[in-house]
Chains A and B, each alone.
Chain A
Amino acid sequence: MSDVSLSVSEAAFETIFSRILPTPLLPFDESASFAGLQFGVAGAIHIAGADGVDFEDGDTFWLDELEIAWDKLVLRLGFDIPTVRVGGFCILRLDDILPWESNDCVWEFPETDLFGADTDIGPLVIDLGPIVSYVVTEVSGRFRISPVSEGGTLKLKVHKQSIDVDPISIQDTFGKLPAILQAAIVAAGAKYVTANPPAFAIDLALGILGFPSLTELLLDILDIGDDLQEWLTRWLNVEIGLPNVLEGLITTAVLKKTMFDIPDPYSLLPPIKMDIADFGGFADPQPPGPTTTLPAPAANIVNPAARFDADMLHIRFDLGL
């Protein structure tokens, strides 16, 4: 039997784990481009807690649900509109005024390319803050616990063994999502047009391309169709690969967490404040006095171990005495 044995029940472990788990904001910023569309996502989540701890035999436990809360979700869209060549046609020909002359052009509208840049429109910033409460992120995983000596304490750290981040879904319980998304896109388009003075060029291009408004163009280019919800989840999950991004964030955040901190060396008594006059036979050098505080006698922790069985986490260690 080890010198010291401590056991923690599954229920207490879950409560403690859930208490240490909440994180500050975990921001991320990812982007992808596809077929002329630059798609960026800036967001922030935080881990709110844990639910459903299940001890496994050995040094791992299964977690049914890591509670993820979304704090920010902003899309950035940039478009590479196909180049439109305008101009290059003749406004006035010589034979229009001098019929006997040749039909040489005397006044040609200058030829120019519209939308020749890599990103012609954008970034349009679509703030999806109003929908973050609809975003559902289900995370489960298997975690390992191990004692690690670090900075004067024996820490029982939680390590990721495997994390499953389900594809992000959007629960549109009240059917409000399409309206919110469309409003956000319209707002982003309007804001962009307002903020970019050569709006006539956009109107001109839209006319050439056959779209009555920038919003219509966006909806067409984005291939949003009728199902905004499906479109958004596809982009978040597939094109951006947000589940992988979240897994990385969660792994890093969880690795910083310590379940239990056992002082090592382990104090056998508290520090003792003493009046020098009340003691004698000091080993040199004698403290100058009149009072001194003796450090706590402490023993190193040796042979630490942490194991689970079906119901309990068992922590055991010996004292290096």
Chain B
Amino acid sequence: MADLYAAVTDDALNRIAGFLHARAPYLFNYVAPSLKARHDDAGNIVGFDDNWVVCSDVDPAPPPGVPRYRRIPPFGVPGVPIKLPCAIQLIDLRFDFHPGDTITLPPQLAGPLAPQRFALRAQVQFGLACIPPEAISAPPPTTHGRQWILPVLPVESLECFLIQIFVIGHLVVGPPGQQIGLELDGLEIVDIQPPGLEQAVECYLVAMLKGAILPQLVLALQAVPVHTLGLTAVTPSLSAGLPNNPAIEHDALHVWLDLAFA
């Protein structure tokens, strides 16, 4: 018998995600800000400030002193002499543990959700700046004999589009030290046309997830229960001899641990 067992439901994780969305929106909103000219009393440009242009306002406002956005670098387009602002906003994030009962999977992912699998649905809004012709040909603004070299295109709005991503995955335990990670079983982006474009984007996303993001994502499922109970001088390890440990079943993530007391 395991010394310690812990479980958290998918409903709790979804409510945590919603809570963090409101309290720590900078975890969900990544923005390469545009620029906004700062003028003196005579109307002359005296500098530039960040202009955090996004597709969807962050609502409700976060608690005092908490930022809404995290900065990402502006992106460049070959042939365009100026960097472009953009925004990536995670509008909604939802988890569903086996048996799947809150996320309706698209046909491409062949539901229902298999045993020991989780599903994730993310609505991501992308915003990209449109480049007006004059931005390419016009000389940089000049005031008081100073020529401003702008690092990014000043815009007041973005071209926005929303995509819906479905992911199916499962947990894996691997060396070294019983590291618990995620493995991707399927990914689907809904309604991108033409189909070839959709497949290409999905292919890139899968490669990026498998090659770069998931390998670095280690779930501290051994440490969290021990810390939650305030136990010290204890080394937890996954209990052996169980068919699935950790397990995704009954709408919850479960883990069984043996404890080595110092």
Contact = CB atoms under 8 A, between A and B. Distances in A.
B66 interface: yes
A318 B8 CA distance: 10
A88 interface: no
Contacts of A269: 20, 24
Contacts of A284: 64
Interface stretch (A2-10, A30-38, A75-83): A2-10
Nearest to A156: B229
- A-B pairs with lowest CB-CB distance, top 4: A261-B230, A281-B68, A3-B12, A279-B67
B77 interface: no
B74 to A, nearest CB: 13
Nearest to B57: A281
Contacts of B15: 3, 319, 321
Given A282-B65, A283-B68, A7 B58 contact: no
Interface string B20-36: 10011010010101000
B252 interface: yes
Given A263-B230, A280-B33, A280-B68, 11 more contacts: A1-B250, A3-B8, A3-B12, A5-B8, A5-B252, A9-B3, A262-B230, A263-B228, A272-B24, A283-B67, A315-B229
A12 B3 contact: yes
B131 interface: no
Given A9-B1, A284-B64, A319-B12, A279 B70 contact: yes
Q: Residue among A6, A8, A16, A280 with the most chain B CB within 10 A?
A: A280
A266 B12 CA distance: 13
B71 interface: yes
Given A4-B6, A153-B230, A280-B50, A321 B18 contact: yes
Contacts of B250: 1
A292 B18 CA distance: 24
Given A280-B33, A281-B67, A283-B66, A6 B228 contact: yes
Contacts of A280: 31, 33, 50, 52, 67-69, 71
A81 B114 CA distance: 91
B28 to A, nearest CB: 12
Nearest to B64: A283
A285 interface: yes
A19 B64 CA distance: 43
B95 to A, nearest CB: 13
A6 B251 contact: no
Contact of B230 (A7, A19, A260, A277): A260
Interface in A81-101: none
Contacts of A294: 24, 65-66
Interface string A171-195: 0000000000000000000000000
B52 to A, nearest CB: 4
Interface residues of A, number: 45
A15 interface: yes
A163 B161 CA distance: 69
A260 B65 contact: no
B9 interface: yes
A292 B251 CA distance: 38
B11 A3 contact: yes
A284 B61 CA distance: 10
A268 B4 contact: no
A3 B252 CA distance: 9
A230 interface: no
Nearest to A272: B24
Contact of A4 (B2, B12, B31, B33): B12
A297 B17 CA distance: 11
A283 B66 CA distance: 6
Interface in B238-261: 250-252, 259, 261
Contacts of A282: 65-68
Contacts of A261: 229-230
A281 B3 contact: no
A89 to B, nearest CB: 79
A297 B24 contact: yes
Given A9-B3, A297-B19, A297-B23, A286 B65 contact: yes
Interface in B116-141: none
B234 to A, nearest CB: 9
A311 interface: yes
A283 B65 contact: yes
A48 interface: no
B62 A12 contact: no
Interface string A284-316: 111100001010010100000000000110010
Given A262-B228, A279-B67, A319-B15, A297 B20 contact: yes
B169 interface: no
